[in-house]
Amino acid sequence: MQSLELFEAPVLPSRQRLGPAAMVLRKFALPYMQEAMPAIEAIAAAAPFRHMETPGGFTMSVALTNCGALGWTTDRQGYRYTPLDPSSGEPWPAMPEVFARLASKAAEAAGFVDFEPDACLVNRYAPGARLSLHQDKNERDYGAPIVSVSLGMPAVFLFGGHARTDPTVKVPLHHGDVVVWGGVDRLRYHGVMPLKDEPHALLGSQRINFTFRKAG
């Protein structure tokens, strides 16, 4: 059994504002980890991580899977949400209760009440993996925030403006940090710089990121 020290925050959670309606909640997810880690393993067993193809024909360096009523997918036909895993034809795994609770509490802490996500994209980064600047705009309603949880290896999150060419802020993210953005910041460009190989005590040479959305 893993030591409880790996799940507990060494300091009290703190907040870092990135915009009028965007915030980093430092170490906010740590109290949920004992429940969340087995849930991640169960999701990956039912719907394995895979490297999807973009509409432009590129293979994503980040491996992904989903849980919840809807799952985000990409292929040559475009980006979209689907109720079924295209690899198996089966529904995506149900969203674990601890995931929904974490997403709701994090959103509330950032000023967004009554957030009930119906989609959770789970990303797995190996050293060198990156995520190019993009907007989350496949959702039907932009009124709900995005809640993004970081686990494992540290990463540098890029948070830009409403145009791809706008300057970006480099935000270091560590195990247990949660980023929430919505409102006037909902469509800001964001991404992740290539990951350095800095193994984490619990997850080793990988970063797990799960991003909650209201997609339907």
Average the pLDDT over 78-97 and give the result: 97
Report pLDDT for 10: 44
What's the CATH fold of domain 14-213?
Answer: Jelly Rolls (2.60.120)
Cα(first)–Cα(last) distance of the chain, in Å? 38
- Residue boundaries of the structural domains of the chain: 14-213
CA dihedral 94, 99, 105, 106 (to 10 degrees): -120
80's tokens = 């979209």
Rounded to whole angstroms, the Cα distance separating 176 from 4 reads 14
Residues 142-191: tens digit of each pLDDT: 999 999 999 999 999 999 999 999 999 999 999 999 999 999 999 999 99
Count of CA atoms in the C-beta half-sphere (13 A) of 32: 24
Residues 3-40: tens digit of each pLDDT: 344 444 444 569 999 999 999 999 999 999 999 999 99
Mean pLDDT value across the chain: 94
Bridge-based pairing state of the strands 190-192 and 131-134:
antiparallel
β-bridge partners, 25: 15, 178
Report pLDDT for 1: 38
Counting residues of the chain whose pLDDT is more than 90, the rounded percentage is: 93
With a threshold of 0.95, does the pTM exceed it?
Answer: no
Bridge-based pairing state of the strands 71-75 and 14-19:
unpaired
